[in-house]
Structure 1
Amino acid sequence: MVFRGKKLDVLQVLFLIKFWDACWLKAKFPDSFISLEALATDISIVDDSVWKKKAGKSPTSWLSPPRGSMKFSFNGAMQEDGCKGGIGGILRDHDGNILLSFSASIGSGSPVQAKILAIDFAIKLFLESRWFNGLIAESDCAAVVNWLFNPCSIPSEWATLLHPIGAMLSQENFEVNFNARKCNFAANQRAKSAYSLSSTEVESQM
C-alpha cells in the first residue's frame, strides 16, 4: 500500500490504533490516574479497579519516603512531533531536601522511550553517587513500571533498554513505584525544560 508516495508503515498504523483506543478510554474515564502515553503503550494495564472511582482521594503532591530512605522522582517528555525530548529527575531525602537533580536532552524518539531513558539515567546517576541503598524510584508511566515488575511482559522493541534496568534494580534491591503525574510535577517540568539543552545538567548537594 502507498500513501502520498510513501509505503505503509505498519508499526505506525498499529500505534495510531492504540492511541485512538487510549484517547477513548481517557475521555470515558477522565479521573483515571494512568497517563495517555502509558495507555497507548500497553492497553493491557487497564483493569476495572483502575477506572472505578475510589472512596479515598489519590495523592496530589509529593509524598516523603520512610525515614532513612531516599526517593528519586523522574520523568521523560517528548514533543508531539517526536523531534525533541528531555529527561529530568529529583532525588530527595525523607525530609524533602533535594540531594541531586538532573536535566538532559535526548533528541528525537517516542514518549515511552523518554520514560525509559529517564529511569535508566536516574538509576545510573544514583549508583555513581555516595549513597548506596534505601532508594525508591518513582515514575508516572504505569506501563514501564509494570514491565519492570513483570519482565516477561516487556515488548520486544523495549527489551534491550529495560532488561538491564531491571537487573540493576534487582541487584541493588531498589524499589520502583508508579505515581501520578500530578505528584511528579517538578520532575516533569525539568524534563520539558531540557528539550533544547546543549549538555546534561546535574546538580548535587553531596
Structure 2
Amino acid sequence: MSISCSGNAPNSRPGLGVLHGNLAWLNLVPFSLVWSVWLFRNEIVFKKKVMDWLQLELLIKLRLASWFKVKYPDCVISLDELMSDFSLVSSSSSWNHLPVSPARWCPPPTGFLKLNTDVALLSNVSGGVGGLLRNNKGDVLFEFSESTNIAPPAVLEFEAMDRGIRKFLNSPWAKNSRLIVESDCQVAVDWCLEKVAPPVPFRERILNLAALARTRGICFRWIARSCNIKADKLAKQGIG
C-alpha cells in the first residue's frame, strides 16, 4: 500500500500571522483522520486488506503533514520532521524564519524500520546496489553492498529494493517490525506501488514483489537524493 497521500486539503488558508499556538495543524486533524479511515476501510472491504493499525497511523500522520505543507507552503520544516513531531509548528512565527536546508533522512515512526536503497553504475560496464536498515533511533541494523548485472537504471533501483526487502524478511527484525522502503527513483517506486506498468521483461518479478509487499504491509516512498547519501555510498562500494 502506498503511503502517498490522496485527496485534497481543506481549501481555506488563513495567513501565518493570525494563527496561534498549535491550532494550525490541529484544525486539519479531523479531516485527515476521517479521510484516512474511510480510504483504509474501502481497501479492507473491496481489496480484502487486513486491518493494520500501525499502517493506518502512519497514513494519518503522513496525510496530516502533507496537507499542512500544501496549506502553508511558507513552512520550511520537512515532511518527515513534521510527521515525527508536530510540535515543531506550535509557534507560527518560526515557520518561515528557519534556515532552508536540503532534505535529510529522518528516522521512522515507532514500530517501523526504514530500508534505504540505491544503485551505482560505472560507465555502463559494471554496477552495484546497496542499502541499509535503520530503526527509529537511527541505529544501523544491517547494510549491504553487492555487485549487479548491467540493466536500465530504474530496473537496477528495483533490484536494490528487492534485495533489501528479502534480506529484511529473512532477518530477526521482520517478526516484530514493519518496513518502510525509501528510494530516490520515482519510477521504481511507482512500479512497486503498481501505479504504472513495469516493462514486460521484468513485469512478473516486479509484480511478485508488489504482491509480497501488500501481504506484508510494506510501504514504499520516493525520497530526495540528499536523504539517500549513505545508501548511495554503499551502492558505489558494491560495484564489481
Say whether the fold is shared (TM-score over 0.5): yes
1:112 matched to 2:154: yes
Query: Aligned to 1:89, what secondary structure does the other structure show?
Result: strand
Once the two structures are superposed, the pairs formed by residues 32-51 of structure 1 within 5 Å of their partners are: none
Distance 1:65 1:121 in 2: 20
Give 1:181 shift.
1.0
Structure 1 stretch displaced more, 95-104 or 158-167 = 158-167
Larger Rg: 2
Mapped pair 1:76 → 2:119: yes
- Indicate the larger mover: 84-93 or 107-116: 107-116
Q: Which runs of 5 or more structure 1 residues have no equivalent in the other structure? A: 1-53, 197-206
The structure-2 alpha-carbon separation of the partners of 1:82 and 1:60, relative to structure 1 and needing over 3 Å to count, comes to same
Aligned to 1:66: 109
Aligned match of 1:92: 134
- Whether the aligned pair in 1 keeps the contact of 2:194 and 2:210 (CA below 8 Å) is no
Q: 1:129 aligns with which of 139, 163, 171?
A: 171
List per-residue Cα deviations over 1:80-101 (Å, max 9, x = no partner).
x321100000100000000010
**Cα distance in structure 2, aligned partners of 1:114 and 1:56:** 35
Report how far residue 193 of structure 1 moved: 1.5
Runs of 4+ in 1 over 2 A off after TM superposition: 54-59, 107-110, 150-155
**How far does the alpha carbon of each residue in 1:124-174 deviate from its partner, in whole angstroms, 9 at most, with x for none?**
100100122311111111111112222552232331331111011111111
The 1-side partners of 2:121 and 2:217 are apart by 30
Structure 1: how far apart are the matches of 2:229 and 2:124?
Answer: 21
Instruction: Name the aligned partner's letter for residue 218 of structure 2.
Output: F
- Kindly tell me the number of residue pairs found equivalent between the two proteins: 142
Residue identity in the other structure for 1:84: S
TM-score of the superposition, structure 2-length normalised?
A: 0.55
Contact 1:116 1:161 in 2 (8 A): no
Query: Which is richer in strand?
Result: 1
* 2:202 aligned partner: 158
* Corresponding letter in the other structure for 1:73: N
- Determine helix, strand or coil for the equivalent of 1:153: coil
Which has the higher relative contact order, 1 or 2, with Cα contacts under 8 A spaced 6 or more apart? Answer: 1
> Equivalents in 1 of 2:168, 2:155: separation in Å?
20
Cα RMSD after superposing both structures? 1.7
Counterpart of 1:87 in structure 2: which amino acid? Answer: V
The structure richer in helix per residue is: 2
Identity of counterpart residues, as a percentage?
A: 31
Describe the shift of the 1:128–1:56 C-alpha distance in structure 2 as closer, same or farther (beyond 3 A): same
Q: Note if contact 1:76-1:85 (Cα within 8 Å) is conserved in structure 2.
A: yes
- CA distance in 2: counterparts of 1:106 and 1:155, whole angstroms: 19
- Give the 3 Å change call, closer, same or farther, for CA 160–64 of structure 1 in structure 2: same
Supply the distance in 1 between the matched residues of 2:216 and 2:130 (Cα, whole angstroms).
Answer: 22
How far apart, CA to CA, are the structure 2 residues paired with 1:89 and 1:63?
A: 16
